[in-house]
Amino acid sequence: MDLRLEQLKERTRVDAPSTRRSSRIRLQIPVFLKGSDASGTEFIELTKTLNISATGACIASTHMLRTDQTVQLTIPAPIPTASSMIPSETPPIMAKVLREELLGEWRLFGLEFLRPLE
């Protein structure tokens, strides 16, 4: 197994529920991350969550973000169908950057959702 993947798994282990407002689960979900980097340049990046809860997530990114900045996450929707049962898009999730860790060329960011997921 790749050493970086093993390090990533170790850093994103699930914390005890008593230390958090909501339990985190290790779940990789593809997301579009939209924001501006530390130099002010806007970007949209396809990345993934490493863990997620009702109140936040840990994501991987190659961009430099600032602590306390607001970013937008959007979960890619499936190809639209004629059925009205499947939404054509998912609403964006606004989040604040709380922390950053470096892992090789990747940056791991702890995000807090501005509104908890329902």
pLDDT at position 14, please? 45
Domain boundaries, the chain: 3-12+21-79+87-113
Q: Are 28 and 50 in contact (CB under 8 A)?
A: yes
Q: In this predicted structure, what is the pLDDT of residue 19?
A: 60
Assess whether pLDDT exceeds 50 at residue 16: no
- Write down the pTM of the prediction: 0.77
Give the count of beta carbons closer than 10 Å to the beta carbon of residue 17. Answer: 11
CA-based R_g, the chain, Å: 15
CATH topology classification for 3-12+21-79+87-113: Thrombin, subunit H (2.40.10)
- Please check the confidence at residue 46 and state whether its pLDDT lies above 90: yes
pLDDT of the residue at 78:
72
How far is 5 from 42, CA to CA, in rounded Å? 28
**18 three-class SS:** helix
Cα–Cα distance for residue pair 53/56, rounded to 1 Å? 5
Average pLDDT across the chain, whole number: 83
Give per-residue pLDDT as tens, 63-98: 999 999 999 999 987 766 666 666 666 789 999 999
